[in-house]
């Protein structure tokens, strides 16, 4: 322990706060100058915490399921009737889909269609919210040797969730399509027009830059577009919904606020990445 006079110690104590405040500005500059450093620190942190959250996730999930079950008991009869009606409807659609699928396959054979490569995928559990007040992202717990790479695409059972932006040894971060930094090329299924889906941190991202003359229609399905090489075509994204101020938004098909399990698809695409994610490509010899 350093022995200082009382005056010197008091002066030092008074100085600590201003010095540290100055240091926080320094940190901001450092974070701005080397974004990769900060990201690496964060993902190292996430790596350490992900296994703990993964262990906690199971009992917490059970608890939530228990509560939901009790709540469900109340509405059992109504749900049952509704499900029966829905099942009838779906059966009719299933026969239509099967017929169309058979026809589609026949036509593809006729046309000598080059089939899309079947993507490989891994399934991972969402263990924590990796966003913040100003970011929308989730953290996945993945085992070691997971093989997940940056830029791969995350889907839940309903539709597009987002893209992998950071990968650690035991965790990966998925930037959701609702995040402020998310830009996704999409196609409006009805008109076939291209547009860009722009996240704005709200639950419904906006549609921008559709061609003149084919505005998005209310309720139209939106799927991913393949034009930038970052996404394969025709992944379900959501449906168009107009706000009261007549701005087209997309209601995501994926349940982004209740993500539990997502599948990470590797479509083998090496399209454009965000500048901060740009890194010298690793040597690959095929």
Please report how close the Cβ of residue 13 comes to another protein at its closest, in angstroms: 9
Please report how close the Cβ of residue 25 comes to another protein at its closest, in angstroms: 7
Among residues 119, 183, 189, 201, the one that binds another protein under rule CB under 8 A: 201
129 counts as binding another protein under rule CB under 8 A: yes
Strand partners, 251: 239
130 counts as binding another protein under rule CB under 8 A: yes
274 counts as binding another protein under rule CB under 8 A: no
Q: Contact 149/167 with Cβ under 8 angstroms? A: yes
Rounded distance between C-alpha atoms, residue 106 and residue 113, angstroms: 10
246 counts as binding another protein under rule CB under 8 A: no
Among residues 47, 124, 131, 204, the one that binds another protein under rule CB under 8 A: 131
Please report how close the Cβ of residue 226 comes to another protein at its closest, in angstroms: 27
Short-list 207, 196, 260, CA closest to 230: 196
Please report how close the Cβ of residue 170 comes to another protein at its closest, in angstroms: 15
Of 140 and 226, the one with the shorter C-beta distance to another protein is: 140
Among residues 64, 91, 105, 217, the one that binds another protein under rule CB under 8 A: 64
Of 17 and 109, the one with the shorter C-beta distance to another protein is: 17
Rounded distance between C-alpha atoms, residue 131 and residue 119, angstroms: 28
Among residues 4, 9, 31, 123, the one that binds another protein under rule CB under 8 A: 31
251 counts as binding another protein under rule CB under 8 A: no
11 counts as binding another protein under rule CB under 8 A: no
Among residues 150, 169, 190, 200, the one that binds another protein under rule CB under 8 A: 200
56 counts as binding another protein under rule CB under 8 A: yes
Which residue stretch of 18-26, 102-110, 186-194, 214-222 sits at the interface with another protein (rule: CB under 8 A)? Answer: 18-26
Q: What angle do CA 45, 46, 52 make, to 5 degrees?
A: 105
135 counts as binding another protein under rule CB under 8 A: yes
21 counts as binding another protein under rule CB under 8 A: yes
180 counts as binding another protein under rule CB under 8 A: yes
Residues that bind another protein (CB under 8 A): 16-17, 20-21, 23-32, 38, 41-42, 45, 49, 53, 56-57, 60, 64, 126-135, 137, 180-181, 200-202, 257-258
């Amino acid at each position: 322990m350093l022995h200082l006079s009382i005056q010197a110690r008091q002066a030092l104590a008074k100085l600590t706060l201003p010095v540290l405040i100055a240091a926080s500005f320094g940190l901001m500059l450092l974070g701005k100058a080397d974004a990769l450093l900060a990201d690496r620190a964060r993902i190292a942190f996430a790596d350490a915490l992900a296994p703990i959250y993964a262990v906690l996730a199971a009992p917490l999930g059970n608890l939530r399921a228990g509560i939901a079950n009790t709540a469900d008991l109340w509405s059992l009869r109504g749900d049952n009737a509704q499900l029966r009606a829905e099942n009838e409807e779906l059966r009719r659609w299933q026969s239509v889909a099967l017929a169309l699928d058979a026809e589609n396959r026949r036509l593809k054979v006729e046309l000598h269609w080059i089939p899309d490569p079947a993507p490989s995928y891994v399934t991972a559990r969402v263990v924590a919210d990796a966003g913040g007040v100003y970011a929308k992202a989730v953290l996945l717990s993945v085992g070691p040797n997971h093989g997940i790479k940056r830029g791969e695409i995350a889907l839940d059972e309903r539709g597009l969730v987002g893209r992998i932006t950071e990968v650690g040894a035991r965790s990966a971060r998925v930037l959701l399509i609702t995040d402020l930094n998310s830009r996704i090329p999409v196609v409006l299924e009805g008109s076939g027009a291209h547009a860009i889906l722009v996240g704005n941190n709200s639950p419904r991202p906006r549609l921008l830059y559709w061609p003149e003359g084919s505005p998005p229609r209310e309720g139209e399905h939106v799927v991913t577009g393949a034009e930038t090489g970052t996404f394969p075509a025709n992944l379900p994204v959501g449906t168009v919904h107009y706000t009261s101020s007549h701005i087209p938004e997309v209601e995501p098909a994926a349940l982004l606020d209740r993500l539990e399990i997502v599948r990470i698809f590797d479509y083998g695409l090496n399209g454009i990445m965000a500048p901060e994610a740009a890194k010298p490509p690793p040597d690959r010899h095929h």
